[in-house]
């Protein structure tokens, strides 16, 4: 049984805010920390729950004022810390790689080193990425070697290795999770599923890098949150858990699926653009370990999940049609 309070880093991002929403639904006292102030409620799933009495937000930039976070830890003594914070966006990491290294290596190391001093901390859940494996063939297990192919992936792999190092030498209670491509209601509009839906509804064409031939597995954030709850309750410190469905799809076929749902011809939905540097064509996560050991399984099919995202965008199409769908980088 998860004990309160639970601390969530990166609570203003899609993954973090969706997980906070799951915590609130379960009645847990939850504290969210993010370097960004909370976005509009349309992109903040935990705000959709009218009961906010068990949630507290504190703006903390892990690159600048982690001491404030550590002070909150000393005061409230959380047994569980879940870290969704990172500098993301793979393709953009080529432009200013030093920014990715600062957040995902330097600040992550400072975070781990600081948390390691707290004997009340029972589990630190490190939300990592399959990008650390590079492009692979077939379904890969948690023991697969790192082979990062972008500055983003290098930075995340290094952060993971630092956490592993602290576990092996100082018994730091880290558990690693790596999820397939997450999606769901509330996701930023520069991500492939909500962007394709919005463009389809507003008569625009989605640019497909390299023609959309890369394969991915997509998992709804609701299933990721339920997996993390399983890991918090029964996961073993030091272990890694993959969180993924057993089905994969090319980006091209994903766009076609959305077109079929909206009764729009596939050819009218996309235009081919150049592939990005270092793009992994395949990385498919084998999730048998978490299925066998913790009894987790995904419950939201891709088709059902896309329908939910579609309903979310349709519910406020005037608002979403005015939003910038391009990623805006900040240090």
What is the CA angle 19-108-289, rounded to 5?
55
Contact 72, 58 (CB under 8 A): yes
Which residues is 208 bridged to in the sheet? 272
Structural domain boundaries of the chain?
A: 6-182+217-243, 188-216+247-320
pLDDT at 277 over 70: no
pLDDT tens sequence across 217-233: 999 999 999 999 999 99
Which residue matches tokens 């901390």? Answer: 121
HSE value, Cβ hemisphere, 13 Å, CA-based, for 254: 29
Contact 230, 295 (CB under 8 A): yes
CATH of 6-182+217-243, one of 3.40.50.2300, 3.30.70.600, 3.40.50.720, 3.40.640.10: 3.40.50.720
Q: How far are the Cα atoms of 53, 78, 131, 243, 311 from residue 7, in angstroms, in the given order?
A: 15, 7, 25, 21, 30
* Neighbour tally for 51: CB within 10 Å: 9
pLDDT tens sequence across 246-269: 999 999 999 999 999 999 988 889
CATH of 188-216+247-320, one of 3.90.25.10, 1.20.140.10, 1.20.950.20, 1.20.1050.140: 3.90.25.10
pLDDT at 281 over 70: no
229: left (phi over 0), alpha (psi -120 to 50) or beta: alpha
What is the CA angle 209-158-66, rounded to 5?
105
Query: Span 305-316, mean pLDDT?
Result: 98
The pLDDT assigned to 181 comes to 95
């Amino acid at each position: 049984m998860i004990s309160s309070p639970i601390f969530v880093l990166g609570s203003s991002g899609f993954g973090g805010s969706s997980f906070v929403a799951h915590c609130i639904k379960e009645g847990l006292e939850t504290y969210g920390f993010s370097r960004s102030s909370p976005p509009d409620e349309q992109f903040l799933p935990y705000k959709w729950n009218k009961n906010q009495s068990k949630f507290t937000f504190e703006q903390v930039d892990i690159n600048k004022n982690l001491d404030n976070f550590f002070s909150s830890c000393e005061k409230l003594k959380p047994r569980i810390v879940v870290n969704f914070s990172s500098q993301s966006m793979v393709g953009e990491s080529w432009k200013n790689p030093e920014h990715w290294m600062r957040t995902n290596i330097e600040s992550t190391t400072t975070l781990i080193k600081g948390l390691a001093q707290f004997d009340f901390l029972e589990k630190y859940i490190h939300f990592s990425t399959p990008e650390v494996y590079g492009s692979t063939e077939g379904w890969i297990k948690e023991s697969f070697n790192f082979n990062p192919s972008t500055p983003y992936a290098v930075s995340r792999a290094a952060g993971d290795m630092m956490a592993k190092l602290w576990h092996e030498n100082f018994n730091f209670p880290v558990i690693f999770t790596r999820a397939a491509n997450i999606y769901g209601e509330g996701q930023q509009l520069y991500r492939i599923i909500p962007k394709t839906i919005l463009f389809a509804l507003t008569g625009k064409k989605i640019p497909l890098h390299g023609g959309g031939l890369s394969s991915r597995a997509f998992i709804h954030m609701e299933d990721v949150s339920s997996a993390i709850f399983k890991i918090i309750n029964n996961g073993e410190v030091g272990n890694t858990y993959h969180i993924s469905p057993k089905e994969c799809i090319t980006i091209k076929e994903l766009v076609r699926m959305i077109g079929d749902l909206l009764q729009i011809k596939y050819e009218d939905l996309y235009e081919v653009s150049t592939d990005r540097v270092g793009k992994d064509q395949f990385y498919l996560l084998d999730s048998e370990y978490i299925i066998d050991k913790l009894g987790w399984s995904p419950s939201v099919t891709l088709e059902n999940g896309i329908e939910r995202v579609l309903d979310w965008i349709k519910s406020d199409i005037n608002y979403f049609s005015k939003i910038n769908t391009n990623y805006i980088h900040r240090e």
